Structure 1
Amino acid sequence: MVVLLNSHPCFVLILLLAAFSCFSLRLCFGEDRLTFSTPIKDSESKTLLCKKGIFRFGFFTPANSTSRLRYVGIWYDKIPVQTVVWVANRDAPINDTSGVVSISDDGNLVVTDGRNRSLWSTNVTVPVAPNATWVQLMENGNLRLQDNRNNGEIIWESFKHPYSSVLPRMSLLTNSKTGENIGLTSWRNYTDPSTGNYTVGLVAFPFPELLIWKNKVPQWRSGPWNGQVFIGLPDMDSLLNIDGFNLNNDNHGTVSLSYANDSFMYHFNLDPNGAIYQRDWSTSMNDWRVGVRFPSTDCDEYSRCGPYGSCNYREDPQCKCIQGFVPRNSTEWSGGNWINGCVRRAPLRCERVRNGSSNGGKEDWFLKVQKMKVPVNVQPSLANAQACPKACLDNCSCTAYAYDQGIGCMLWSGSLVDMQSVSRILNSGKAHSKRAVMITALVLGVVFVVAVCVLLACLKLKKRPGEPKKDRSVEQLLKRMEEVNSGDEPASNQVKLEELPLFEFQVLATATDDFSLRSKLGQGGFGPVYKGKLPEGQEIAVKRLSRASGQGLEELMNEVVVISKLQHRNLVKLLGCCIEGEERLLVYEYMPKKSLDAYLFDPLKQKILDWKTRLNIMEGICRGLLYLHRDSRLRIIHRDLKASNILLDDNMNPKISDFGLARVFLANEDEANTRRVVGTYGYMSPEYAMEGLFSEKSDVFSLGVILLEIISGKKNSHKEDNYPNLLAYVWTLWNEGEAASLADPNVFDESFEKEITKCVQIGLLCVQEVADDRPNVSTVIWMLTTENMNLPEPNQPAFITRREKSEGESSDQSSQKESINDVSLTSVTGR
């Protein structure tokens, strides 16, 4: 049946109203693009809304403002608190709703008022035709002006012209050669977005630092960047580990600072009061939650205590002269005016010689000032840690030195300014006699000997494992150790529970700031991992086993038994454990670079892993695995080898971690079978995932997956075109003779092409479907480190697909929350 459209006047009217309604909705709710023919008019309430609905662009009046001035900017949409992150015409507001945002005749984005006066423009230096450009509001809050004629080339973007806020994937930058500076500027006040008094930005100096200025006068500084943290910020360690900060320095004057975060409901803001706040949206609070703040105390004020003065906000008065110095003006100092600082109590030898002393008298020596923020105006030195003190002592203008692993030797000349008590160390000053040092050393030595004697006495009096009040879980751990030690191993090699430190829960809680979110490094399959610092200053990583996993004690006992007997440069070191009530915790050495996956799969950090570094990481993982399989006192099958379980030290050397699922093999065992398959999907060999069979060759399969991930910078779950995972994609490239094209573009170079192809071939040899076809780890190392050798052709790898649990599997396995043949899935998240 055909229905003809009736032209009844009422029907036509309804259609017209519907069309008008749709048009009105389009104007109100907005699109994400602006073109020459679709300007934004304030009078029509039209805006741009990014695709995910997080950010909106258009005209606004600041919240709580008594004026009706109109500005053009970007703000968070659909939250009750108006939060503007970028403003265009900040110093040229419009008095009414006659404003228009449009593409001008020369292709620029412009803001005009009712008289068609230009109040703000992108001011692109190379003019383009108006119909050739368009503007898009991206889902990350970046406003882009793009050129249609060059495949959407970005010719201007708001991320390169920030105002008061930094959003994820935005960068601050400074270039001392070109003078380019991308920084932040505060609002004048909370209701006036015009240019305020405060600015924040990077300075290259000898070492990059972050500074806040008020009217171009320094108000706060972060201290130098050492490759991981700004060493003047004790709280920065946690912040960097959580939020993915990254600082790039080309050592030619260009420095940039950026951060990546999975949530765009997160930003840093320079407030009108001159402080940097980190905020994230809390749905439970229905408001912005403040994470960190710089400056955070009065002592963060630049040069608060003047030259040679140190500030400590916990003390009263906050300022004091460092040892060997006295106030320059005692009356001012006692009255709380510390700006003129302190002067040296006794002149240095060089000064005494200049003043006429024949030999200058006694030699100068250094006073170690503990936990001190390093002063401003540092000078780099090529001296190593041992030679650093002499480099300063031999230089008459040098007044202090410090050494940091990431920076090296630092020297200071002249007055020491902007010092504060933090968790860093500065070796400073030269004003006391050698005799005083000898007396102090003697006293400290006696105290140390007495302390050791007391400690040994306490240990002797400590309850033995067999005493009745011992925690039952500790007894279970001891029993497990005795079972492992009951084999053929010599008694000298057997690990006793007393040899492994047992930490008190309260000590670990204090060290991790009560397991706060700021201390959290990551989330593993059996619980979260936190960064902590012991009272003596040692940094640690604490894994708090989840009660919900149901495997906390099992994993803890297994890991303590296994890893306490291992020692290798490519294995993470277990420092101790804690078993109190329901709490199970493992304490490891802290790895400042976090895990391999944090670099490998992060677009911002991938560039740090050049080809030479990736080769070193591949070889290090292999050597650690070889130790587990063949060279250690026990034969260990790891069973959960993956990128997130490879930690990196300061020099990017890999260390295998997480031995909670490891299995100890007896001397005559080559293979074992289990009905409870544990590990991470994607890294498990086919015989283990499908049949429960595991051996050295199942670890080799996991190793092969990791090698291919390191080469490509792609996760094993990566889907390319119609390929289900990375292995299928690599196999196709290999058969097409394009193996080298797998390499991460960040590291590919024609000079490495042969080496890359060889590594791809080794990876494919490791992931072959038949376990007997795979090489052992010692062969893999030989293939990686030997040049000009003929490797065997790999057979097709296993493309494991997910399968449902069969009815025949036992009922006790059904309690697992996620399973593939009762597979315990662990998240691939770095610690």
Structure 2
Amino acid sequence: MERTKLSCAQRSDTIIVKEMNRKWKILLKLSWHGDSLSVGAIVGIVTGTIVIVLVLLALAFVFNRRRKSYKEVDFQSGDDISTTHSLQFDFKTIEAATDKFSRSNRLGQGGFGEVYKGTFPNGTEVAVKRLSKNSGQGEKEFKNEVLLVAKLQHRNLVRLLGFSVEGEEKILVYEFVPNKSLDYFLFAVKRQLDWKKRYSIIGGISRGIIYLHQDSRLTIIHRDLKASNILLDADMDPKIADFGMARIFGMDQSGANTSKIVGTPGYMSPEYLIHGQFSTKSDVYSYGVLVLEIISGRKNNSFHQTSDATAENLAWKLWGNGTALNLVDPVIIDSCQNSEVIRCIHICLLCVQEDPVDRPTFATISVMLTSNTVTLPVPRQPGFFIQSRSGRDPLDSDQSTATKSDPTSVDDASITDIYSR
């Protein structure tokens, strides 16, 4: 609760009461009897002054409460956030903004709860994540972890604005990203993303992960990097969502391995899926799969309908045959720069190497994407490689079958992990 500071000063027959930047003057008409003030007058003056001060205190308290309820007009930057109080929203304010979490405001279902669109009285739009009630965090721990994650701010990350707690209810409030997620534009309305924009998105995602891995106050492993966790803003620039959820939700943060595998099949690295071991190189693997989806315009699980099973499997075969461009989405084949596409496929194959040591870091990936003078290593066979049991061309299958299914990736329980540096 914000503290209200009052100060009083008496000058002759005037008492001045100040609160913050406001000032009131209380004029007192004193009744004198001879050379001394009557006892009754003194009692009346003191009592009246106390009542007036208490009324002013009450008014100031109500004013500050109302101002706090609409605090969304003054979101703080990462460097200015110092206490959990500065991030906390009144639960009734969140209920009103989402029309009591109405279905018409529901944006989707994630691994940690449902997401709603909220609109505050001044027109500010936010995304409200209503966490499921099986969180392992107590209220104090929850607030502290939110404070840590809210300080992580980058142009390619979805910004965490605050939270709300009411009984068992735990709410996260994020900036509202106006366009849908990347998977929608890749798999449902592909013609809205030409190669220039796709290439820009590939670079933006890498910059966001560089910040999480090495430039932020904490080292953050996303562990569920996928197309549905990449949101696009009004300029179609990418913003990574669902980072930092491991700490907020109170899940395993050991960093070396976990007995609870939470993620999305098809994006997980072999060591994470099989042994529960994860590191920053786990995100590198997921990034490689994601970029192959961006290039091909196809979901990774759609390749199960062919003899090649995965995007990385197909990319490896086409690379070996010298026909890597056959992987490219037909929608962009006429507009793309062949050298950029082939270089991106090459980088993807390096990202999906079986041994994490053989995968590049995101800092290296960024250099590979922006500098044509850097010589790329020769990739080895990907981590998940399935030998074709058919002699058919892997692209002979009808790709339209994939588009008939749900155009978005299955949003399984996503999770991120954070370490102190």
The aligned amino acid for 1:708 is L
Match of 1:227 in 2: none
Equivalence map 1:401-416=2 (5 Å) = none
* Distance across 1 between alignment mates of 2:212 and 2:173: 20
Deviations 1:425-460 (A, max 9, x none): xxxxxxxxxxxxxxxxxxxxxxx9659x99996499
* Distance across 2 between alignment mates of 1:449 and 1:610: 54
The TM-score, its normalising length taken from structure 2, stands at: 0.69
Instruction: Please give the secondary structure, in 2, of the residue aligned with 1:673.
Output: coil
* Distance across 2 between alignment mates of 1:749 and 1:455: 69
Residue 775, structure 1, aligned to residue 352, structure 2? no
Equivalence map 1:437-476=2 (5 Å) = 458=61
* Distance across 1 between alignment mates of 2:136 and 2:120: 23
Give the superposition deviation at 1:734.
1.4
Name structure 2 gaps, 5 residues minimum: 1-19, 24-55, 66-78, 387-410, 416-421
* Preserved contact between residue 558 and residue 662 of structure 1 (Cα < 8 Å): no
Instruction: Please give the secondary structure, in 2, of the residue aligned with 1:703.
Output: helix
Give the superposition deviation at 1:724.
1.7
The aligned amino acid for 1:725 is T
Match of 2:200 in 1: 616
| Pair 1:542–1:616, CA change in 2 (3 A) | same
Match of 1:579 in 2: 165
Give the superposition deviation at 1:567.
1.1
* Distance across 2 between alignment mates of 1:456 and 1:746: 62
Work out which of the residue numbers 219, 227, 236 in structure 2 matches 1:643: 227
The aligned amino acid for 1:611 is W
Work out which of the residue numbers 62, 84, 91 in structure 2 matches 1:497: 84
Deviations 1:259-308 (A, max 9, x none): xxxxxxxxxxxxxxxxxxxxxxxxxxxxxxxxxxxxxxxxxxxxxxxxxx
| Pair 1:645–1:750, CA change in 2 (3 A) | closer
Instruction: Please give the secondary structure, in 2, of the residue aligned with 1:694.
Output: coil
Larger Rg belongs to: 1
Residue 798, structure 1, aligned to residue 388, structure 2? no
Give the superposition deviation at 1:546.
2.4
* Preserved contact between residue 521 and residue 531 of structure 1 (Cα < 8 Å): yes
Deviations 1:536-569 (A, max 9, x none): 210011111123xx23758966862442120111
Instruction: Please give the secondary structure, in 2, of the residue aligned with 1:679.
Output: coil
Give the superposition deviation at 1:790.
2.6
| Pair 1:788–1:582, CA change in 2 (3 A) | same
Match of 1:672 in 2: 256
Residue 594, structure 1, aligned to residue 180, structure 2? yes
Instruction: Please give the secondary structure, in 1, of the residue aligned with 2:301.
Output: coil
| Pair 1:723–1:583, CA change in 2 (3 A) | same
Deviations 1:316-355 (A, max 9, x none): xxxxxxxxxxxxxxxxxxxxxxxxxxxxxxxxxxxxxxxx
* Distance across 1 between alignment mates of 2:80 and 2:89: 23
The aligned amino acid for 2:355 is V
* Preserved contact between residue 624 and residue 656 of structure 1 (Cα < 8 Å): yes
Deviations 1:616-661 (A, max 9, x none): 1110000000001111111111112111111111001111111254
* Distance across 2 between alignment mates of 1:701 and 1:647: 20
Work out which of the residue numbers 524, 532, 539 in structure 1 matches 2:118: 532
Instruction: Please give the secondary structure, in 2, of the residue aligned with 1:613.
Output: helix
Work out which of the residue numbers 508, 517, 520 in structure 1 matches 2:103: 517
The aligned amino acid for 2:135 is Q
Work out which of the residue numbers 343, 346, 369 in structure 2 matches 1:761: 346
Match of 2:369 in 1: 784
Give the superposition deviation at 1:826.
2.7
| Pair 1:461–1:530, CA change in 2 (3 A) | closer
The aligned amino acid for 1:691 is H
Match of 2:238 in 1: 654
Match of 2:272 in 1: 688
Work out which of the residue numbers 121, 135, 138 in structure 2 matches 1:551: 135
* Preserved contact between residue 195 and residue 336 of structure 2 (Cα < 8 Å): no
* Preserved contact between residue 567 and residue 573 of structure 1 (Cα < 8 Å): yes
Work out which of the residue numbers 718, 729, 734 in structure 1 matches 2:314: 729
* Distance across 2 between alignment mates of 1:701 and 1:730: 14
* Distance across 2 between alignment mates of 1:723 and 1:712: 14
Instruction: Please give the secondary structure, in 1, of the residue aligned with 2:382.
Output: coil
| Pair 1:675–1:537, CA change in 2 (3 A) | same
* Distance across 2 between alignment mates of 1:610 and 1:454: 60
* Distance across 1 between alignment mates of 2:197 and 2:412: 30
* Distance across 1 between alignment mates of 2:190 and 2:323: 22
* Distance across 1 between alignment mates of 2:217 and 2:285: 23
Q: Count the aligned residue pairs.
A: 320
* Preserved contact between residue 262 and residue 414 of structure 2 (Cα < 8 Å): no
The aligned amino acid for 1:682 is G
Match of 2:6 in 1: none
Deviations 1:119-160 (A, max 9, x none): xxxxxxxxxxxxxxxxxxxxxxxxxxxxxxxxxxxxxxxxxx
Match of 2:413 in 1: 826
| Pair 1:694–1:654, CA change in 2 (3 A) | same
Deviations 1:699-751 (A, max 9, x none): 11111111111111111112252122222122211111111111111111276
Instruction: Please give the secondary structure, in 2, of the residue aligned with 1:792.
Output: coil
Instruction: Please give the secondary structure, in 1, of the residue aligned with 2:95.
Output: helix
| Pair 1:543–1:736, CA change in 2 (3 A) | same
Give the superposition deviation at 1:493.
8.8
| Pair 1:459–1:708, CA change in 2 (3 A) | farther
Equivalence map 1:41-52=2 (5 Å) = none
* Preserved contact between residue 626 and residue 778 of structure 1 (Cα < 8 Å): yes
* Distance across 2 between alignment mates of 1:617 and 1:455: 52
| Pair 1:529–1:556, CA change in 2 (3 A) | farther
* Distance across 2 between alignment mates of 1:505 and 1:671: 33
Instruction: Please give the secondary structure, in 1, of the residue aligned with 2:101.
Output: coil
* Distance across 1 between alignment mates of 2:124 and 2:233: 15
Residue 625, structure 1, aligned to residue 212, structure 2? no
Match of 2:43 in 1: none
Give the superposition deviation at 1:662.
4.4
Deviations 1:757-795 (A, max 9, x none): 111111111111110000000110111111254311111
The aligned amino acid for 1:771 is P
Match of 1:738 in 2: 323
The CA RMSD over aligned residues, in Å, is 3.3
* Preserved contact between residue 512 and residue 530 of structure 1 (Cα < 8 Å): yes
Give the superposition deviation at 1:579.
1.0
* Preserved contact between residue 212 and residue 218 of structure 2 (Cα < 8 Å): yes
Instruction: Please give the secondary structure, in 2, of the residue aligned with 1:531.
Output: strand
Instruction: Please give the secondary structure, in 1, of the residue aligned with 2:177.
Output: coil
The TM-score, its normalising length taken from structure 1, stands at: 0.36
Give the superposition deviation at 1:827.
8.0
Match of 1:715 in 2: 299
Name structure 1 gaps, 5 residues minimum: 1-447, 463-491, 802-823
Higher RCO, 1 or 2 (CA under 8 Å, sep at least 6)?
2
Equivalence map 1:329-408=2 (5 Å) = none
* Preserved contact between residue 639 and residue 662 of structure 1 (Cα < 8 Å): no
* Distance across 2 between alignment mates of 1:597 and 1:456: 51
Give the superposition deviation at 1:582.
2.0
* Distance across 1 between alignment mates of 2:119 and 2:338: 44
Work out which of the residue numbers 256, 267, 284 in structure 2 matches 1:700: 284
* Distance across 1 between alignment mates of 2:218 and 2:243: 13
Instruction: Please give the secondary structure, in 2, of the residue aligned with 1:575.
Output: strand
